[in-house]
Amino acid sequence: MSTIIEIKNISVHYGTTEALKDVSVVIEQGDFVGLAGPNGAGKTTLIKALLGLLPISKGEIMLFGKSREGFDDWGAIGYLPQKISTINMLFPATVDEVVMTGLLSQKKWPKKITNNDHERVNKTLQELGIDDLKKRMLSELSGGQQQKVLLARAIVSEPKILIFDEPSTALDPESRESFFQLVQKLNKQNGITVILITHDTGYIGQYANKLLYIDKTLIYFGNFSEFCTSEKMSSYFGNYEQHHICHQHSQL
């Protein structure tokens, strides 16, 4: 397995507040990492640091063997932000226009859209079963549909790694189920590495093979199976919570 992401002893500060302290993680190709932790634990901060959206005050991040500062192959990383948080809903963008922005990472200036790009967008929309929404405006779709459109935008460039920030918050249980299955399919069949932030610690074990648990600093990173038997984790979480996190996983 080759290493895709290497996070070495990073710390992130907001002003004088330390949001992350001394976190080190190595993510390998094909991993499906569930990123969990309490509110305000720094989950989103970690991902934003990874994506270059936040400066790090200490340590280093290596993406595909290159330091983050010198990294420019952004098409290799697909990102699905916490829904609607940053999107401008007055913007009259159609579904295909939104998905097209996912291809910009592979283009050099001046960025021109080719027939091939249209085909790639069509193919991705078909794969996700939303090609009938192509000319609809994003703002008039349901939460689940919008989520799929943003997933299409994240995967249209055929990235090697997908990063999700709480993708299931806006979804009803049924859509959540099918969304996670879709992500699992991308992970298993296409070999795409996945990092997924979630609150559903009792649920993610069904899909992820690794757990990354942080609370300002690293609490646990490794396989779910080892997590379940770790005595150190029993003393940290208590037996009940530890069991809750790994319980679902044991059904696999």
Partner 1 sequence: MDILHFLQYSFIQKAFFAGSFVAIICSTLGMFLVLRKMSLIGDGLSHVSFGAIALGLFLGIYPFYVAIPIVMLASVLILKISEKAKVYGDAAIGIVSAVGIAGGVILASMSRGFNTDLFGYLFGNILSISDTEVMLSAILSFTVLAVVYFFYWDLFSATFDEEYAKTTGIKTEFINMLCALLTAITVVLAVKMVGVMLVSALLIFPAVTALQLARGFRTAMIIGSFVALLSVLLGITVSFFFNIPTGAMIIMINTLFFILSFLYKKIA
Contact residues toward partner 1 (CB under 8 A) are 51-53, 72, 74-75, 77, 79, 81, 86-88, 90-94, 97-98, 100-102, 104-105, 107, 109-111, 113, 135, 137, 153
- Alpha-carbon distance 213 to 152, whole Å? 28
CB distance 24 to 8 below 8 Å? yes
DSSP 8-state assignment for residue 43:
H
Residues 6+ apart with CB under 8 A from 101: 153
- Smallest gap from Cβ 234 to partner 1, in A, equals 38
- Smallest gap from Cβ 50 to partner 1, in A, equals 10
Region of 175 on the Ramachandran plot (φ > 0 left; ψ -120 to 50 alpha; else beta): alpha
Q: Which is nearer to partner 1, 110 or 173 (CB)?
A: 110
- Alpha-carbon distance 118 to 98, whole Å? 12
- Smallest gap from Cβ 249 to partner 1, in A, equals 30
H-helix or E-strand containing 24?
strand 17-28
Instruction: Using CB atoms within 10 Å of the CB of residue 10, give its burial: 0 to 12 exposed, 13 to 18 middle, 19+ buried.
Output: buried
Q: Which is nearer to partner 1, 40 or 92 (CB)?
A: 92
- Smallest gap from Cβ 25 to partner 1, in A, equals 19
- Smallest gap from Cβ 74 to partner 1, in A, equals 4
- Smallest gap from Cβ 124 to partner 1, in A, equals 15
Count the residues in the chain. Answer: 252
Kindly list the distances between the CA atom of residue 33 and the CA atoms of 99, 100, 141, 158, in Å, as whole numbers in the listed order.
Answer: 25, 27, 29, 19
Neighbours of 73 (CB within 10 A): 13
Kindly list the distances between the CA atom of residue 183 and the CA atoms of 59, 151, 192, in Å, as whole numbers in the listed order.
Answer: 30, 9, 9
Q: Which is nearer to partner 1, 150 or 208 (CB)?
A: 150
